[in-house]
Amino acid sequence: MSHIDSLVLKTIVETAHDHFFVVDGEGRVIDVSPGAAAVYGLSREELCASTVYQLSERGVLKPSVSLEVFRTGKPAQLMQQTGTGRRVIAQAHPVYVDGRIERVVSRSMDLTDLQWLQDEYALLQRRFSEHLKRSHTHSIGDDMDLDNLDDNLQVRSQMMRETALLLKRVAPTDATVLMLGESGVGKTAFARQLHRWSERRDGPFIDVNCGAIPESLFESEMFGYQPGAFSGAARQGKAGMLEQAHKGTLFLDEIGELPLPMQTKLLKVIQDGMLTRLGDTRPRRVDFRLVVATNHDLAGQVEQGGFRLDLYYRLNVIPVTLPPLRERREDIPGLAELQLKRLNERYGQDKMLHSTVWAELMSHDWPGNVRELENWMERAWLSTAGDMIGGDTQATLAKSDNRGILGSDTPLSAETATVIDSEKTLKQAMQAYERGILARLCETLPSTYAIARQLGISQPSVVRKLARHGLAVSQRE
C-alpha cells in the first residue's frame, strides 16, 4: 500500500461515524478509531495495549463481538453493554489468510445515534405533514392533488391524504421507501400506488411476502438459478424476483421476516446493483426501485441482533407510517362500500347494507384494520339470505374478535346452508367456506406455519391456498 493510500485509509478510520477495532489473530487490539474512547471508557492507547480477552474480562466489552468471530469463524453482530454503560450495536468480520483468521475488523455504533436518527426522521415527517396541512387546507376535497389514484384506495381522511401526498412527492425519485404500520392497514395497496406514480410505472411491480417463502427456498426464489443448480431445478433455469423487478419496483412486504443470510445478500445487491443466480458465476445487473414494509419494530430487531444495522440504514431512507383504521374512521364508509361492490360483482348479486349497520362499523376499533373490515364484510355478505345485510349486526361483529373459526364447534347456520344450497354449486360453496376458514385463521394465527399446524396440512399448501383466495396473514409473532 502506498503512503497516500495509507493516509486515505487513516483519514477514513479517524473520521468515520462508526467506531472501529482491528484485532489480530491472537486477539490483540492493533488499532481503534479515536472516537471509541468515549464509548468504551478507555483511551486509544489503553485499548491498543490490551487484548479482546482482557477487555471482555474487565467488562469493557460485554460481550466481545471479535471473540464471537473467533468462536464461529463467521461474521457476527450483537448488542454490547460497554464499560461506560452505553448500549451499542457491534459488527465484526474475519480476514482469512491461508485458511486462518489473521485479523478481525469490527465496528460499533452507539444506539444514542440510532435514536437520534429515528427522532430526526420523525421530526422531518411531522414538519412535512404540517406543511401539507397549511398548503392544502383550502382544497382538502380537491382530488386534483391525487390524480391517478387507484380505486381500491380510500383517502377521505385528512391523515390519509397527507400520507398519500407524501408518497406522491417522493414517487418520481428512486429513494427507498419504508412503509410502517399495523398489519392490514393497506401497505401493499399504497406500494402499488407509489409505483403507479413513479417514472417506473411501465415496468413490473413485483410483490414479495418475505414471511410466506420457506427459508430453504428463499435464495432460489429471490436470486434465481441456472439449469441444474440443484436437484429439482427447472431445466431452463429461472429468473429470481430481484431480476424480475428490473426497470420496475420491488416491494418486499414483512421485511422483518427476511432471514439474516438473505439480508446480507440483499444489501450487496442494493449496494452493487448486481446479482448472481444460484449455480452461475456471471453477475447480472439489476435496476429496481425498492419499497419495503413491516409491522415489526425494525430498530428493536437491530438491537436484538435479528436485523442488520447497515441494511436498516439502507432501507430507512423515506419512512412512511400508515395510520390504523381506528385513527381514520372517515375512510370506513368508502372501504365498506368498495368491498360490497367487489362482493356483488364476484357473486353476481346486488346486496345492500342496512342503515343500522353503519353505526356499528364506525364504532368498531378494527384491530385487524382494512383486512379485518373486508373479511367481516365478506362473512356478513355470505351469511345473509336476502338482499339486505343488517339486523343482528352486533352479534356479527362479535365474530371479529380473536376466537378462531375452528375453535368453535358451531356448524354452519341453517340460514347460511340454505343460501349455499339454493344459490351455489357444491364447488362454489366449498371454496367460499374454505376462504372463510382461512380468513379467520389469517386474523388469529401468526404465520402460515401455524395455520398449517392447525389445519393438519403442509405449509406450502397453505401458501398456495392463501394466494388463490387473495389472503395474507394479519399477525406476526
- State the CB neighbour count (10 A cutoff) for residue 333: 15
Compute the residue count for the chain. 477
The closest of 155, 102, 84, 109 to 338, measured between CA atoms, is: 155
Sign of the Cα torsion 152, 155, 157, 162 reads: positive
- Grid cell 462508526 in the structure block, residue: 18
Strand runs labelled E in 336-400: 352-353, 388-389
Average pLDDT, the chain: 80
b/e burial code for range 177-194 (CB count within 10 A of at least 16 → b) = bbbbbbbbbbbbebbbbb
In this chain, the answer to whether the domains covering 3-109 and 140-323 adopt an identical fold is: no
**Which tops the pLDDT comparison, 229 or 294?**
294
CA 212 to chain centroid: 12
Q: Check: CB of residue 57 under 8 Å from CB of residue 76.
A: no
- Neighbouring residues of 440: CB distance < 8 A, sequence distance ≥ 6: 375, 404, 405, 406
What CATH code is assigned to 327-469?
Answer: 1.10.8.60
Q: Check: CB of residue 301 under 8 Å from CB of residue 247.
A: no
b/e burial code for range 27-40 (CB count within 10 A of at least 16 → b) = bebeebbebbbebb
Task: List 289's β-bridge partners, or say none.
Answer: 249
- Give me the residue spans of the domains in the chain: 3-109, 140-323, 327-469
Tell me if the domain spanning 140-323 has CATH number 3.40.50.300: yes
State residue 60's pLDDT score. 87
Terminal-to-terminal C-alpha distance of the chain: 50
The closest of 413, 352, 358, 360 to 381, measured between CA atoms, is: 352
Q: Check: CB of residue 62 under 8 Å from CB of residue 39.
A: no
Express each pLDDT in 173-198 by its tens digit: 888 999 999 988 989 999 999 999 99
State residue 475's pLDDT score. 54
Supply the angle between the helices 459-469 and 426-444 in degrees, to the nearest 10: 110
State residue 37's pLDDT score. 75
pTM: predicted TM-score of the whole model, two decimal places: 0.61
State residue 160's pLDDT score. 87
Amino acid identity for residue 301 in this structure? Q
User: Between the CA of residue 378 and those of 51, 348, 430, 433, 435, what are the distances in Å?
Assistant: 65, 14, 15, 11, 10
Express each pLDDT in 309-365 by its tens digit: 888 888 988 889 899 999 998 899 989 999 999 999 998 889 998 888 888 888 888
- Neighbouring residues of 274: CB distance < 8 A, sequence distance ≥ 6: 283, 284, 285, 286
Q: Is the pLDDT of residue 134 over 50?
A: yes
Q: Class of 3-109 per CATH?
A: alpha beta
- Grid cell 489480530 in the structure block, residue: 24
